Amino acid sequence: MKPSRITECNEWILARFPLTKLWNEHMTHYYAPKNFNFWYFFGSLALLVLVNQILTGIFLTMNYKPDAKLAFDSVEYIMRDVNWGWLIRYMHSTGSSAFFIVVYLHMFRGLLYGSFKHPRELVWIFGMLLFVALMAEAFMGYLLPWGQMSYWGAQVIISLFSAIPVIGDDLSLWVRGDYVVSDATLNRFFAFHVIAVPLALVMLVFLHIVALHEVGSNNPDGIEIKDSKDPWGHPVDGIPFHPYYTVKDLVGVGVFMLFFATVIFYMPEMGGYFLEHANFIPADPMKTPEHIAPVWYFTPFYAILRAIPDKFAGVIGMGGAIVVLFLLPWLDRSPVKSIRYRGGIYKKALLLFVISFLALGYLGTQPATPTATIFARIFTAIYFGFFLLMPLYTRWEKTKPVPKRLTPVHSLEEQLPALIEEITVLKPASTEIGHNAFKGSSFTRQPNPEGIRNVISRFVKKAIGSLD
């Protein structure tokens, strides 16, 4: 039978571009651990949000004017006059916050299961470079609406560069392109936000994924599945990423899109955290806002900056809070990866770190009162203590034995019937005279107080026991 034109065209392309090879290596023939849980949704969600940011950003640039006199009005034009412009703008602004939420949870997953440890040090380094590039991208995009908070926030952050000895003043002048935040600053930030940093982000995502697929994905047990293979050379505890995890990720995408759409359509400003109220006022160099604070995803590091009285030391502290994350693979001396088999010291330290990070994030949004400053210093000490004391407490703690194979995972679908049986009781639907209460349709499940107490008690005991 003579091959069709489509088949011939397909063969012509494959002879010149290894599309099938790439698909097999990174999807169908890439074996991932079979015990992934919901924490592993956030990597694919980060990629989804990146695509959203790039596409919506392209459409926004079609009507945006990178000019100090026209920028604010062009954003208002997009919101009011461009067909579906308000939706595209809100998808982009909400997407920036969603990006950081997903990335922070993705990084926390790494802390939970030791995804930064051998042999994934380079995967972690590429991920941290992605985080820094994302912060730069968000900061430069924050200036573009040319609102009051955009203008003055950029003024404050750029002025921090002047605290660097010798080169500080020249560096601040170079970043601004002028002696104050002006049209030159807006133009160069626009160029970096639209062209330079997105290219770096795409390149780092590629390197991050390639490095990950070279060494293989980590899992909640922290066991290397490549160590146990079947006669065909496939990991016995692994399954092909496609179709199993591509289909599973669609569930995570569906849940994420539900929350994402809810924010876009009902609360795009999120009470002033996603879009500050002051940013709906045109930038005025002659009028300073009452309280200048960055967007919520920068506030933990901003709180560290304000907690240190000396300006230069504050800049060092703020930068050190990010640099110390790069050193994590070499600070952790524990022989196990996953928190499931670590000792209680690490679990308590991680809990304190999460509390300190959230508290610093909140304090960074508040005015710098004496009481807030004291608390910020305490939580800053806890933040750095988690990392700097890690070589000691991870070496001292007593770990649990790690199994040689992955532990079985019971899905929610498998656990749900037994859980429903425990927390409910079957009773007749009606007790009226003459009603046949023995028909199957006349019975209904009602809450079982004792069963609910048992489930809650078991959950609390498990949570307390996990800290031992």
What whole-number distance in Å separates Cα of residue 195 and Cα of residue 174?
19
Tell me the C-alpha to C-alpha distance, in Å, between residue 45 and each of 49, 103, 317: 6, 9, 31
If you search the block for the tokens 């091959």, which residue do you land on? 3
Contacts of 440 (CB under 8 A, 6+ apart): none
Residue the block writes with tokens 């679908």: 413
How many other C-beta atoms are found inside a 10 Å radius of the C-beta of residue 82? Answer: 17
- Whether residue 405 contacts residue 426, with contact meaning beta carbons closer than 8 Å, is answered with no
Instruction: Confirm if 324 and 336 have CB atoms less than 8 A apart.
Output: no
Q: Would you state the structure tokens that stand for residue 393, as one six-digit string?
A: 């407490």
Q: How far apart are CA 145 and CA 165, in angstroms?
A: 32
pLDDT of residue 467: 55
* Nearest CA among 269, 138, 109, 114 for reference residue 197: 138
**Amino acid (1-letter code) at residue 298:** F
The residue to which tokens 């009507």 are assigned: 63
Q: Are strands 424-428 and 238-240 parallel, antiparallel or unpaired?
A: unpaired
Q: What angle do CA 58, 322, 195 make, to 5 degrees?
A: 20
User: Which residues 6+ apart lie within 8 Å of 44 measured at CB?
Assistant: 249, 252, 253
Q: How many residues does the chain have?
A: 468
**Nearest one of 201, 168, 153, 193 to 49, comparing CA atoms:** 201
Query: What's the burial of 81, exposed, middle or buried (CB within 10 Å: 0-12/13-18/19+)?
Result: exposed
**How high is the pLDDT of residue 437?**
44
Q: In sequence order, what are the residues at sequence separation of 6 or more whose Cβ sits closer than 8 angstroms to the Cβ of residue 406?
A: 33, 34, 35, 219, 221, 223, 225, 237
Q: What is the pLDDT of residue 400?
A: 93
Q: Which of 423-439 are b and which e, b meaning 16 or more Cβ less than 10 Å from the residue's Cβ?
A: beeeeeeeeeeeeeeee
The interaxial angle of helices 311-326 and 121-143, nearest 10 deg, is 140
What is the chain's pLDDT, residue by residue, as a tens digit (468 residues)?
A: 566 888 889 889 988 888 888 888 888 889 999 999 999 999 999 999 999 999 999 999 999 999 999 999 999 999 999 999 999 999 999 999 999 999 999 999 999 999 999 999 999 999 999 999 999 999 999 999 999 999 999 998 999 889 888 899 999 999 999 999 999 999 999 999 999 999 999 999 999 999 999 999 999 999 999 888 888 888 999 999 999 999 999 999 999 999 999 999 999 999 999 999 999 999 999 898 888 889 999 999 999 999 999 989 999 999 999 999 999 999 999 999 999 999 999 999 999 999 999 999 999 999 989 999 999 999 999 999 999 999 999 999 999 999 988 877 655 556 677 777 778 877 776 555 444 444 445 667 788 888 888 878 877 777 666 555
Q: In whole angstroms, how far apart are CA 132 and each of 45, 176, 329, 376, 425?
A: 18, 20, 17, 23, 53
Q: 232 in helix, strand or coil?
A: coil
Q: Are 105 and 74 spatial neighbours (Cβ–Cβ below 8 Å)?
A: no
> According to the model, what pLDDT value does residue 442 have?
66
Q: What's the longest Cα–Cα distance across the chain?
A: 94
Report the distance separating Cα 104 and Cα 132, nearest Å: 12
Compute the radius of gyration of the chain from its Cα atoms: 27
Q: Residue 74 corresponds to which tokens in the numbers above? A: 């062009």
Quote the DSSP letter at residue 346: H
Model pLDDT, residue 434: 47
Q: Give the whole-angstrom CA distance, residue 121 versus residue 335.
A: 15
Judge residue 243's burial from the number of C-beta atoms within 10 Å of its C-beta, 0-12 exposed, 13-18 middle, 19 or more buried: exposed
- Sorted by sequence, the CB contacts under 8 Å of residue 42 that are 6+ apart come out as 102, 103, 105, 106, 109
DSSP string, 394-439: HHHSPPPPPPSSPPP---HHHHHHHHHHHHEEEEES---TT--TTS
Asked if 175 and 161 count as a contact pair (C-beta separation under 8 A), the reply is: yes
250-275 exposure pattern, b = at least 16 Cβ within 10 A, e = fewer: eebeeebeeebeebbeeebbeeeebb
Q: What is the pTM (predicted TM-score) of this model?
A: 0.88
* Phi, psi of 81, deg, nearest 5: -115, -25
pLDDT given at position 458: 79
